[in-house]
Amino acid sequence: GESVGLHLPTLSVQEGDNSIINCAYSNSASDYFIWYKQESGKGPQFIIDIRSNMDKRQGQRVTVLLNKTVKHLSLQIAATQPGDSAVYFCAESGANSKLTFGKGITLSVRP
């Protein structure tokens, strides 16, 4: 079946370094991709999104890259801060606004 997955379950980075979180998706019909951040005890929080007609989108300290050729999505966080520690999910959306989530990766920021 169609799935969205993440390459690594955990990522540990030094405070101030850049973080890169990768995600592979398998549904070539997906046309909308989102990164969510989930802190302990809270619901997923929108970070940034990108549509399939783009290959890069930048926000505040975050950049999402989309490579449709290899069905790969990445989230780059610049100057990672302790407040960035959380679980990050990629999600893809296709027909009927259905979101398919990856299983999540934990980002841990070392002081």
Partner 1 sequence: EAQVTQNPRYLITVTGKKLTVTCSQNMNHEYMSWYRQDPGLGLRQIYYSMNVEVTDKGDVPEGYKVSRKEKRNFPLILESPSPNQTSLYFCASSFPWDTQYFGPGTRLTVL
- Biggest distance spanned by C-alpha atoms of the chain: 42
Q: How far apart are CA 89 and CA 101, in angstroms?
A: 7
Residues that bind partner 1 (CB under 8 A): 32, 34, 36, 41-46, 49, 89, 93, 96-104
Minimal distance, residue 87 CB to partner 1, in Å: 10
CB of 101 to partner 1, least distance (A): 4
Query: 85 or 89, CB closer to partner 1?
Result: 89
Q: Among residues 38 and 63, whose Cβ is nearest to partner 1?
A: 38
Q: Are 50 and 33 in contact (CB under 8 A)?
A: yes
CA 24 to chain centre: 10
